[in-house]
Structure 1
């Protein structure tokens, strides 16, 4: 994190004057240039979606000395298979953007250096289908154009040296699965110049959309096939791209890929950082090449290259600024970076007085901070003097105060922080760094305390239906805000069981809270009588954001619970070995039974009766149970049977099952039940002995076939009818009256009868007619 603090401001008039003088000096020292245009460039391939990609080329053009006729409206790019250099496809790149490249410090701009960035792009996007672009060695893209700047100082015959822009990318399928990759978008373009004898640095670090690892190195720029006489592919191959390998440029004597320009040290780039650095030892214009390789899971998958050039000028001398420090608010003993540690203690000074200056007239200085291993909030600057260094009537040295926050705590370890002062010199600012060692101890803060009125006799005992309540009091000696919390131990969750902890408003250093728990049946443990633990905590947050907690209070609680099952007695018949007893009651007769319940725990008892699959009232049953005293209950059952709700099968009435239950009002109730079967008693029938002969001869004896002893009608089992058939199956008589009389119709012989009831019962027989 960088925190800038600018102390000096140029006036417009002064800034313009300085820029004009600087430009004149640099222009006079610059080498002449003729017929120049291409500064450098690189290719870029970005994944869009599916099989679609965007191919672009950035071309950097000399806006001062460039030949306008060399500014192309389009380029032809070729995509080749790396395994055999076979041309796969041709792509046309059209000019879509033309802008100036910005300087790092616009005030340092010179008239001899101005660069345009030209962006060329395939307008219809690029299709890379997996059935074509599947070569395991991958592919490369190339664009060729001549020529470079005549004024380049480090290569042979620069005016005839061409450029081949080059990029590698992997197959779009790997292991049978899609393999997507976007090439790294490398480093911002370079528009600045370097000063001879001064360290020059520039950040060329790139970005990769896929998160691949990037590695940078210096490479020899590529020349390719084009020449000054044939500057484009259209001149030498009818605009058909030519495959590699591409001939590199030729370095001047004593130079190479690892020593591309005169310097001490020479031009280098950080393999991981992408940071260019050089201290040039000669004025001139120097071309250089940088390669950015991308790796995925340790395997190289592609690369992109940039050709560029750096101009070295003889600049006005710029002396570095300097910064010193004085601890505290008084005293004149300087802080010694290599020996002293700034110790920040409660009640002591937490500031460092900074004195910084610059021998160069009219310099504007800027302070910033850089962490080495410093943690926490950065300190802040405050200025007591502002003005321009060496301005008339002002002190030569500027003063600022650096104050560390009160809450800084280095945890007993020394933290290091760099204080950096930078000037506004050209081409790049110069700096001085003061490394400050800090050991900080924050102001002590007392711990909170917590007490309760639960009492000393523990565990607390409570029964279901009772309410447990007591108060808590938390105190913080510093008056920090107090927060309460309620929890339970070993899986016990009091809040889920209805327990609450309500905190009151804090008054000064104290904050009270009320615990309240209406104990219900869910609080009964299994088995009953086990200890449950209530845990109360009180925490505070100090002004420095440190969380502090009082020792927690744990209060054990036992929910007492025991229960003896109630006793049910009645005048109902007892169960038999075969199950619930059967009670038969004749139609029109009344049946009554009494039930009583008793509970030694004095729990409230409730008696009820329920029919299985029927409503008691629908079949003439009634159960009454008036409210009784605690631990007592009584009830009366009665039944006056009718045919309503009674069904009969084969002359037998269906059973009505009634369950009587004694229920107690307690947490783990043990209801007592009695089940009784009830049925309507079937009327007693005489023995059914139908006659089997009649003599309809007029002697008034056995004149008719009649059945006086038929089984009686019983609810829905009623006589339906009689049919009489001849021996040949012909029906000769039918009646639906129980009192039917059949005289045989004067024809003797054997006849057969069929008697049916509404419930499906059937009686068959025969009768002999003897006239």
Structure 2
């Protein structure tokens, strides 16, 4: 065995620092279970060589989008189920620094037909950041992430269920590549539905951000940015560069060491129409220092020939000739050589044509000689067929191979076709049978073969199973060269689903068991019909085909269905691309005999609808009867509801944008706004909390109103709001009004400037009263200097420069008989005799003195 130079590899790998991040590739799968249930799987290829890497996540969250408009449908959580090692092609080539495991996440999900029915299909995505920092072919690999995607078709299409599973790919091998050595692997997978699969190289997708787990974003996806001259045609530089065939065979002969990332696009086709795709991301490690491989050399020598076989020649064998020849392999002494045969233009397994499948080259290095004998029966009946004879050794990192391609034209052993003796297969037989009978059609079907080969009859039907519809072939006579059967048919609806299908194109094939089992026979064709009992279809009634309704209105109508046969009938409804209850629709439907009536109710509110996405909704009402034969007799009615969004007028303010205020004087303003639509609910408030001025005397409350809204602003400015030396200052207050006219809510704001000034006071205009009469007659009974009718009798107001401090009243002797620091003081004169008294009124900067006469 050729092993790599491990000492040199250890040095190379320590310098590369490869696989510093734990996820090195992966893909997604969607596998049908039954009905509308699926397994959704995400597969990661996980670096297990670096023990410092964290373990796999316990779960992953994937997002499902709609292809037509990239709308998010929903999310699904997949949980970790298994983790297993990915094997080397040759385990003896393993190196400790390259070990990969396959991590499998899965969840069972339901794809409801009323949601997943859009012809353009859907896609699933999952994102992760970031990639291995040692990747050679992208810019800033530590800052570029990965997006896994899978596209799938609708589950309900053309009026019926559309079943599909995505292709399932074989796990990649945990191999490395070597400089100037051919690397190859089969990336192809299988498709459970028999769909065609095409493979191509693509640039991998980046993640949408550099956070560890970005929220998956809809299309378009970002591609990685390639570096160092690499691109889609040169992802891994080589001679040749990395490439893949349409059938999934990947090859490269790399010219430089490094760690390379690439993506394989897997497209799925049915009836030549693309129905889905997925991508597999993977990394490839390219090393240097591997032993130069010596591939085996394989040749073929035909009996009686001295020269080796020329691969363009066609070998012709008659039916009677022996079909054996010599296969010779030369390789290094001690190499173990494995032999394999593959059909090129046919699908049958042919490896058993070798005398043995593997063996070593002996110590003397002699040629390995193997006898090869091909079958007497040709693999293709009417044309040459091609076989590749492949010799592989056990070199590292991958086996080296040599292939001899041989072309054969083999004469088949003679055989005459069997034939129908009765009835004749020359014309198509037409048969109609009433429902409920069990009969033998045409009594006996008689087949014969002149070679006296054994015979068999079997059904041929393209899109149904005849046995599932009561048909059987029951043997009456079976001898060499002749076989007789009865073609029996049970047409009972109680046993078979003739309600689903009652006409059948059927072939009954007669075939012989000849030596080579070639398709050789005669076919009897029938056109069959089961005549079902009369049945009328149920009829839907009630709603109109089109409704136009304004947003914030309601839609109500009754849906009824009747069946003239009084069969049990069902009534149901579903939305085209949406769930009825999710948009606020109430509809029950049901199952009754003969008649069903069910109310439909829909509140077209902004909370229920996403008007920015669509304003048109299609709703399908379906009724079907359950007659004796369960015949599909359905009536369907489509109702289209267009949601009308009327134009919305902006609300307007009814206030000015400038007002003047004085310190210590209360200012009152009714802030008013109205709406041209009259019916909208308006909300009035400050634009933000920072809109209020820095004043304890400021007050304004949020308010609402229909069509018109107001709220009162009150403000008694403080001196602290003035500038230096009590200079006038301006303050801007921002008000906001908005309506509730969803989905197009309108708003308006206004900036109002308030100019705050010092209060101008004429202290010379103050004339205090000089007498009062406390005699209890209710007139002038107390002495006060506030709230008097004549303004000149009231104390001058305070401003920022001068404020009231106190009043003191003295008698003639100078004794203090009354004192107060309140502007609202009241002197009753209690205990004072009639006469003249003296007062002193003090402000910060102004004083008043005078006399008061107390008259009793």
TM-score w.r.t. length of structure 2: 0.45
Structure with the greater alpha carbon radius of gyration: 1
More strand by share: 2
Higher relative contact order (CA 8 A, sep 6+): 1
TM-score w.r.t. length of structure 1: 0.49
